[in-house]
Amino acid sequence: MNVNEVIANRAIEILKGKKGDYRIVHPNDHVNMSQSTNDAFHSAIRIAVRLSIRNKLVPALGRLEAALEKKSAEFARTLKVGRTHLQDAVPMTLGQEFSAFSKAIFVEIERLGLAEEELKYLQIGGTAVGTGINAPKGYTDICIREINRLTGIRFEKAKNFFYEISDQTTEACVSGLIRNAAIAMNKIANDLRLLASGPSTGFGDLILPAVQPGSSIMPGKVNPSVPEMVNMVCFEVMGNDSVVANAASNGQLQLNVFMPIIAYKLLYSIDILSNAADTLARECIGGIRANEKLLRERIEHDMSIATALTPYIGYARAAEIARRSYLTGRTVRQICIEEKVMSGDKLDRILDPKNLI
């Protein structure tokens, strides 16, 4: 109602009339002709969310994916010990680890393409409950043709106005796709924090760029501020998705009256997640360095490398060698030589980390 009044008064100004003189342009009889809040508001949300995903979120995620892919290539030959259950596992490269990050973002960009399909159907012309009362024949087609011209993308007439006005599972589905992107980013941020933890008492695989003094009390401390910011943004997006789900599930009969909170949470999530993706790429990913000295030392003393011996000497004996390596601090190779498991040349070939990745 307020929007109609604003548009009417602006039109009156342009026509050199006096604001409030609704004989010239009336908020309901002219501006709102053939419309209801129930179809116009819903359609506006879909247009806004689709444009925001296309023009803001997907490009931001694309820049993050590119930054991660570049770092993956940079670390393609940097050997490290993999980890499962937070325990040492078999060797891999840091590039392979970062390739998982870039692929995760690529997958979420692909999934957001589903949002395009979900949001392309507009309810405009359904008016109050979906019957199209007070809208002339052809009105919807004219509206959508003009919307397509203005936006530069293709929208279509809803196949069932009653469904699209009363049911907001479409918006809930799109919210879920945005939430999934937040889940992927949150996992990456968590991994970066773990990999950079320490430097003396943590994992210490990575050195993150310092964006600020890390502590007001401990000189020299550097905190993973950017990944922590990403975590908090992702928590917010996941919470927003819960709000959208509740709002979508609590509509009644021919109208969901909770569309304002659905609109707000969707657009807010897109904004903050886009900003977080850009900040992560710009302020963190590009400046990450590998702690190569530490990674080399760990590879040399990785007892899980005994896994490569299993096809030759069996699981039980390989496990015993790994256990002795851990207890004595000697390398798997040294123990194998002492026990004359096989020749040194063959051991070098089997246990060479470059052959295990």
Residues with catalytic function: 215
Closest CA to 105 of 191, 185, 194: 185
Q: For residues 90 and 356, what is the distance between their CA atoms, to the nearest angstrom?
A: 8
Rounded Cα–Cα distance for residues 301 and 22 (Å)? 83
